[in-house]
A = this chain, B = another copy of it.
Amino acid sequence: MQAEIITVGTEILLGQILNTNVKFLSEQLASLGINLYFNTTVGDNKDRLKQALAIASDRADLVILTGGLGPTADDLTKESLAEFLQLPLVVVPEELNKIKSLYHKTGHKWAENNIKQCAFIPNSYILTNKVGSAPGMALKFENTAFVVLPGPPKEMTCMFLNYAVPWIKNTFNCEVSDMLYSKILKFTGIGEPSLEVLLADLFEVQTEITLALYAKTGEIQLRITTRAENKEDFERKISPVLTEIKKRTIPYLFGENEIIFTEAVAQLLLQKNLKISTAESCTGGMLAQYFTSIPGSSGFFLGSVVSYANNIKEQVLGVSSDLLEKHGAVSREVGSAMAERIRVLTGSDLGIGVTGIAGPSGGTQQKPVGLVYIALATPDKTICNECHFNGDREMIRLRSVDKALYLTWKYLKNILD
């Protein structure tokens, strides 16, 4: 069974609003086990909407339309659908009464153009709008089912979940039984191509299970998807491939589904009852901000010194002026000293030091933009990584934070090289 979404609204094609409806409906269709192959966005224009309807109804069993149900002249969705199907629109008196009493209750002035909200194709199923005024409409015509929903996200989601889904399930009875389930595995410290190579044969063997990789800033996601009767059936089906993936990706796999990497690090710190603190130069507080974004961060994070100016490195952190003069602020020695000093200063178990050149200016031939030293001081030893990052200032800072978190995570997992 195939569905297609047509979103209607000139405001979307002018970039005035972000189309969040498609994300919601896509997720819902996936969980219903309905394939979605196309989404088309079209402006408030009858001819172009009819053109989109012709294409969509030709290739889909279910066409979902959102937007253009309001009272104003540029709301044309039902009108276009009716013309396309060569069917009339007829005012339904009960709906007109409902909408009039709604206006009365809210104290809004009644305007005659509201009547068009109460006109529907005869014999279609009227979808109640519990959140706003314009009702929706669902009908099957020849081989295609059409579901017409309002544009405002609150109205659309409420109507879809409460009225459209039951109608769809009923109309396509046997076809939406097995639902699509998925699990996301999250990786860091490895690029997408290398991860694909590591898992290549698994991608090929799977028949009923789909594996898909996505690169996000600072992490790679692997989505494992398959149809299943229920959650338990899903877990059972994916268990062999999941075990194999986990075995191969120990140094990179940090969690599942909604978790973000900072949370994974935080959980390990809390489990091991370790406190951490940071001394930051080029990341300028970003690492501290990541740690403190986690609720309950006072359980593992003590504080930070953002030693942006050199004299702060000396006077607040206590990095020796000899070291600064001899090696420069951006050096392995100063990065390590920053990590060690913040550890002592705050009395934490672990200290992170980050010093580098985020650019755009400040780089030299010996020490170019993107050079960052990331150090972790532990009770036993201090490790310092020299990194060369690409990208603009923001990207270099983000990558420095990711790398510092990764170094900490590897230490906590006892898998430091």
* CB <8 Å contact, B37 and A48: yes
Nearest Cβ in chain B — how far from A96, in angstroms? Answer: 14
Interface residues of A in 67-115 (CB under 8 A from B): 70-74, 102, 105-109, 111, 113-114
| Cross-interface CB contact of A38 among B52, B102, B113, B395, cutoff 8 Å | B52
Scan A307-333; emit 1 where CB is below 8 A from any B CB, else 0. 111011001100000000000000000
Nearest Cβ in chain B — how far from A302, in angstroms? Answer: 4
Nearest residue, chain B, Cβ from A113? B193
* CB <8 Å contact, B305 and A304: yes
* CB <8 Å contact, B20 and A24: no
| Cross-interface CB contact of A360 among B27, B295, B304, cutoff 8 Å | B295
Nearest residue, chain B, Cβ from A302? B309
Scan A24-39; emit 1 where CB is below 8 A from any B CB, else 0. 1111111000001111
* CB <8 Å contact, A192 and B306: no
User: How many A residues, CB 8 Å from partner?
Assistant: 111
* CB <8 Å contact, A303 and B302: no
Interface assignment of A55: CB less than 8 Å from any CB of chain B: yes
Scan A275-296; emit 1 where CB is below 8 A from any B CB, else 0. 0001010111111110111011
Instruction: Give the complex CA separation of A288 and B36 in angstroms.
Output: 44
* CB <8 Å contact, A303 and B307: yes
| Cross-interface CB contact of A19 among B23, B43, B315, cutoff 8 Å | B23
Interface assignment of A197: CB less than 8 Å from any CB of chain B: yes
Interface assignment of A301: CB less than 8 Å from any CB of chain B: yes
Interface set of A (CB-CB < 8 Å, partner B): 10-20, 22-30, 36-43, 45, 48, 52, 55, 70-74, 102, 105-109, 111, 113-114, 130-131, 152, 154, 191-194, 196-197, 203, 212-215, 217, 223, 225, 278, 280, 282-289, 291-293, 295-298, 301-309, 311-312, 315-316, 345-347, 359-362, 387-395, 397
